[in-house]
Structure 1
Amino acid sequence: MSGLALAVAVPVLSLCSALPAWAGSALAAWRINRSGALELRTPPGTSIEAFFEEGRGLVGPRLWIDLPGAPSRSCSVRGNGAIREVRVGRPSDNTTRLVVEFRPGTKLDPAQLRLVGTSADRWQMELGSGVSGLDPFGEGDLDAPSTPSWRARPPAAVVPSGPMPSVEGLPSVPVGRYKVVIDPGHGGPDPGAVGINGLRETDVVLDVSLQVAQILQAKGVQVLLTRTSEVDVDLPPRVALANNSRADLFLSIHANALSMSRPDVNGIETFYFQDGPSRRLAEAVQLQMLRVSPGSPDRGARPGRFFVIRRTVMPAALAEMGFVTGQLDSPRLADPAFRRRIAVAIATGLLNYLVANP
């Protein structure tokens, strides 16, 4: 969660009624459940942001969620226990803000506040043990049938990011035979590394990952993504998705960084945990990335102990596409055309591995 303190100016015009005040916005339903978790329902693919502000003195802490679309009016629902009030308002012409205000003295740990996408149209944030034991309350139909989980999304559900890269000339594998998990690193309030001109790792890796997924799907590979939008997914759920789905391959996609005072450091590297299939996978991806990045140093396919490649049970690798702090790599990573090329390269590496290791 972000510790950024923003002013919450949400006028309370009326109580929420049977007709949702947020009609026209991306907020379909919300609820505080008995265990002290905030649950939301939105249209599939909605991008939302979460913020937290610590309380002081007679003012309790509060968190708020911003969603696309403006509500028709503002409203307020009185809480119970540690929660004083929940408000829905309109901070700008095209934003819905849901504010959860806590009573003074309520202790929340910002590091534990994670808004996680639990399916294509469901979100959940655990508020901590100090907010449990509530009488549940909320607005809208949160128990409506869920859109199929992103863990089982059909290929058409992956949202394109820019033009579809060409798949002509790429290796072919039997349609439907393989399942691959693509893990875009970081996300949501965790942007990963931030480099030259404010280039954020999360923006680069999500764009490339979605394109890799498109390419693989076009070649008949079933693809699961650990996230498809700017949400925060912890490391264990990423591993659990891969292991529970019995995927054939796992690839985590990242961008590297060093100090902003070292723009001379550039290069591409791919990590594996164990020799054997994982090493061959890392080498296949590394080779293809280098081919579309002339002049970028080859930092090699190397052993690494990253959680997501150490705990997955299938061949797994973690690719670092270049340095967002590098004077050579950063402009490339910021270029949509280069992102398309490296997405094709990564997909080619994965396909080459599958062809060579049927």
Structure 2
Amino acid sequence: MTDVIDLEECGEEFRRDPHPLYARLREHGPVHRVRLPASDGHYDTWLVVGYDEARAALADPRLAKDGSRIGVTFLDEEMIGRHLLVTDPPQHTRLRGLITRAFTMRRVEELRPRIERITDDLLDVMMPHGSADLVESLAYPLPITVICELLGVPELDRTEFRKLSTEVVAPTSAESGYDAFVRLAEYLTELIRDKRRAGHSGDLLSDLIRTTAEDGDRLSPGELRGMAFLLLIAGHETTVNLITNAVHALLTHPEQLAALRADMTLLDGAVEEALRYEGPVENATFRFAAEPLEIAGTSIASGDAVMIGLTAADRDAGRFPDPDRFDIRRDTRGHLAFGHGIHYCLGAPLARLEARTALRALLDRAPALTLDGPPGEWLPGTLIRGVRSLRVRW
């Protein structure tokens, strides 16, 4: 292996299927120096591809999410505001405590009837056509509707918001990604201003504006914007690709699809295996070495960027035997698709609920569901794992 592996030089095949490269890297060790593709800014970073090392790194307090600990600030963070993915304790503990006061498990469970209704309504429109793009017809509109209703985003804004959010998580260029951040920051500032003027309306964003800790602590305007950004982006982009990737995996493994149709008690296992096999987040967002450290004998200098490969770790044969086999009966406990440690995904219960609801309803109403051609273009960059379109017929 070369000192720095340039992922841009790995070509389009890496974008379509990064797993063979990650497997080759693991053969030579769990940690490597890589240069990210141009769409990710061509940054050099350490990439952790081994399961044990990734799990440990996700919970290692020496790997900071807050770049200011090493003297680094990012323009997008200054524009959007502080949120859970760019903070460490004690600030992270404070922010997570405030948001969990409003975004509770009970609140997620209360969404179940509405999620089922939205899913049925989308399928009512989709089914008479006999074929459709699953992304446009179900995988995208379900989670975007749920999260926008939850947060109180006006329906008229959702199409534009989708364009901006996709550009943020999978930028087609550094310039377009930056522009999307600017426009999103402006939009969220205005949305929060409107919520303050309107008074309490029962949505999550209104609750976050008013939520107060026992000591009187509240989210600042910048923190509100940052948390709204995180909830809106993470609350639908990942779920779009979880649903799409799960359907794609099932349709390309007909024996697994048949097993699920024969026994729908396997549904939870199918969702968890989809998360492990082709999770919607390829790599966790950057961490930075707050002090010199070693990962599996590799020296990481203070200030170095570290990227933890969630997709790579979940295909590590040392943790999941025969990892390239899609098996809905597999024991998937411990997979890292939602992360690990204090940064474990706050929205995991909502994502799981939406994916289970969508899969159950789709398979029930489309008994002859099959692919209608190859999947569309895989999203650029190394953050989100998913395709822009997936044609299906029934």
TM-score by length of 1: 0.25
TM-score by length of 2: 0.23
More helix by share: 2
Larger Rg: 1
